[in-house]
Amino acid sequence: MNKWLQKLYARIQKFDQNQDSQSNSKQAETVSGDLQQNINYILALTGNSSDFNIRKFQGAYGLPMAIIYINGLTDTEVINDNIMNPILSDADANTVKKENLSDMFGFIKDKVLTVNAANTVSKIDDLISALYKGDTVILADGWNQAISASSAKWIQRGVEEPSSQSVIRGPKDGFTEDISTNVALLRRRIKSPNLWKVDRKIGVVTQTDVSVMYLKGTADDLVVKEVLQRLDRIEIDGILESGYIEEFIQDQTFSPFPTIINTERPDTVAASILEGQVAVLVDGTPFVLVMPITFLKFFIASEDYYQRFDISSFLRLLRFFAFIISMLLPSLYIAITTFHQEMIPTTLLVSLAAQREGIPFPAFFEALLMEITFEVLREAGVRMPRAIGSAISIVGALVLGQAAVEAGIVSAAMVIVVAFTAISSFVVPAFNISIAARLIRFILMLLAAALGLFGIMSGLFFLLIHMLSLRSFGVPYMTPLAPFVPNNLKDTIIRVPWWMMVTRPRLFAKNNYVRQNVNARPEPSDMEKEK
């Protein structure tokens, strides 16, 4: 009984302490008129971190003041030349009469500081957020507010060619980890006041900047509203990459097919925005999310619009063929060699039988062993240092493949099938749809080993049903094939010439359907007609 009372008393004490701490925090939420109290509270919140610089000084008429900034996030030259020097200049500060010191706050903020932006901060939380953005905070004794002066500067990567998406023809600049730079890259391409930007801060601890950009009057307002609502529902301690956002706002979680596309090419995002799609930019990553998306969009590369339509159409058809090969080839080999040998020409069948003589494993385990080996080599090549990663992966594949054939573990035909399958998986421009093909490949291999071609067709049937049920922010995933929209077929499996693409995709741009003039077809000039 005594132990139970002691536990109850301890819980009551803990509750009272929590209430006291909460009340104290509420009292300290706003900036106090006591300069030292504000400094002590900020030091307590930040744990007396050594990178927080606090400099006290005497301002005009001996007013006690202090500036606070974080090393590594601020430009010391801006602090010295545009903040400290103007404040300490008697010629400027003494223009305010001594009896009107209450006006000193507005005078310094609006007329003394020579920084790009100076904002008023009333809450301690906002003050801390400003410090972490690289601003310099100015406090003074008697002020119930603080001044947040822009002085941000940190080391960041410059605009370079995208590393994950090679460029053959077209712009070679790529997004960086700085969200303001990424926004500027889009503003540079779309010089229109209709390019709207809505900001959010997501992450209780990280306070990551997230921006939603779309073309007002072209994008569907319901889609924009849905994107913002899904972002507002996110409650997490931190956002470090756009992949966090993607998993929270995507339509279907348990599906191998992505319903959001990511890219680090500004021209791709700009083209998507012009078609009525919405872009989500996340600070700290060069990968921008684009939505809504359809299945056929994953096979479209930016270069398709920078070269002739016939070449682009041929390459696009090649990508579709490569995707089908990467998904079906090993399972077709297993099904035909195991159950349907009558489909193989006699000469080839004799050659395959001679190769498989002495192989201890059935075709399924043979293919599974080779596929897993290649996946391990691919992952090892990605994780290894770049100087040796590619060399090790190529040499490893050649050595292991040749050694496995000579040892009689796998047949030479199986090595060819797996190698061609792996090469085909790299043809598709979007990496995330290639991963989907890799996952589906193993399922189809299992079905082929159990039921042959009937198993493959059954798997493809259920896969097609699943794809038809998917939505991306209200847009059917298989549009314009299902539902069938003839006007949107101009830029799907093949691409027609630019002068024929008069309209935008109807399900993306419901508000502004027409893209260009109908009479844009090139014709001979009058001079050529006279000749």
Instruction: State the Cα–Cα distance between residues 57 and 53, nearest whole angstrom.
Output: 13
Q: What is the pLDDT of residue 34?
A: 86
Closest CA to 426 of 472, 471, 382: 382
Boundaries of every domain in the chain: 26-149, 159-293+497-531, 309-476
Q: Are 444 and 456 in contact (CB under 8 A)?
A: yes
Task: Give the pairing of strands 288-291 and 261-263.
Answer: antiparallel
Phi and psi at residue 54, to the nearest 5°: -125, 120
**What pLDDT digit, counting tens, does each position of 488-501 carry?**
888 888 888 888 88
Phi and psi at residue 496, to the nearest 5°: -85, 165
E strand map for 41-123: 52-58, 64-70, 118-121
Instruction: State the Cα–Cα distance between residues 286 and 502, nearest whole angstrom.
Output: 32
Choose the weakest-confidence range: 26-30, 111-115, 118-122, 190-194: 26-30
The arithmetic mean of pLDDT across residues 67-91, rounded, is 85
H runs (alpha helix) in 207-308: 221-232, 242-249, 266-274
Which of the two residues, 139 and 29, has the higher pLDDT score? 139
In three-state secondary structure terms, 461 is helix
Q: What is the pLDDT of residue 102?
A: 60
**Per DSSP, what are the bridge partners of residue 282?**
210
**What pLDDT digit, counting tens, does each position of 93-134 carry?**
455 554 455 678 888 888 888 888 899 998 888 898 899 888
E strand map for 9-164: 52-58, 64-70, 118-121, 136-140, 146-149
Q: What is the pLDDT of residue 531?
A: 55
pTM listed for this prediction: 0.83
The arithmetic mean of pLDDT across residues 473-487, rounded, is 88
In three-state secondary structure terms, 202 is strand
Cα→Cα distances 237→127, 133, 201, 202, Å: 20, 18, 12, 8
- Residue 366 carries which side chain, given as an amino acid letter? E
Cα→Cα distances 417→331, 361, 368, 413, Å: 10, 16, 12, 6
DSSP H or E run through 77: helix 76-78
- Residue 213 carries which side chain, given as an amino acid letter? M
The arithmetic mean of pLDDT across residues 352-372, rounded, is 84
Which of the two residues, 380 and 335, has the higher pLDDT score? 335
Phi and psi at residue 264, to the nearest 5°: -115, 20
Choose the weakest-confidence range: 152-166, 235-249, 273-287, 337-351: 152-166
Which of the two residues, 9 and 226, has the higher pLDDT score? 226
Instruction: State the Cα–Cα distance between residues 131 and 125, nearest whole angstrom.
Output: 10
Phi and psi at residue 201, to the nearest 5°: -120, 120
Does the pLDDT at position 27 exceed 60?
A: no
Q: pLDDT-derived band of residue 393, with 50, 70 and 90 as boundaries?
A: low
Which residues, in sequence order, are CB contacts of 230 under 8 Å at separation 6+?
Answer: 248, 249
Cis peptide bond upstream of 292, omega within 30: yes
Q: pLDDT-derived band of residue 286, with 50, 70 and 90 as boundaries?
A: very high
Q: What is the pLDDT of residue 99?
A: 45
Mean pLDDT of the chain: 84
Q: What is the pLDDT of residue 12?
A: 47
Q: 317-322 long-range contacts, Cβ below 8 Å, gap at least 24?
A: 317/493, 317/494, 318/427, 319/427, 319/428, 319/429, 320/493, 322/424, 322/425, 322/427, 322/428
Q: pLDDT-derived band of residue 57, with 50, 70 and 90 as boundaries?
A: confident
Does the pLDDT at position 524 exceed 80?
A: no
CB atoms within 10 A of CB 486: 7
Does the pLDDT at position 23 exceed 70?
A: no
Q: What is the pLDDT of residue 298?
A: 92
**What pLDDT digit, counting tens, does each position of 420-474 carry?**
898 898 888 888 898 899 899 999 999 999 999 999 999 999 999 999 999 999 8
Closest CA to 287 of 264, 314, 316, 318: 264
Q: pLDDT-derived band of residue 15, with 50, 70 and 90 as boundaries?
A: very low
Give percent of the chain with pLDDT exceeding 70: 88
Q: What is the pLDDT of residue 97?
A: 52
**What pLDDT digit, counting tens, does each position of 134-148 carry?**
899 999 888 888 999
Q: Write down the residue that tokens 């969009």 correspond to.
A: 297
Which of the two residues, 404 and 24, has the higher pLDDT score? 404
Angle at which helix 412-425 crosses helix 309-338, to 10 degrees, equals 150
**What pLDDT digit, counting tens, does each position of 291-321 carry?**
999 999 999 988 888 988 999 999 999 999 9
The arithmetic mean of pLDDT across residues 389-410, rounded, is 71
Closest CA to 153 of 84, 223, 78, 91: 78
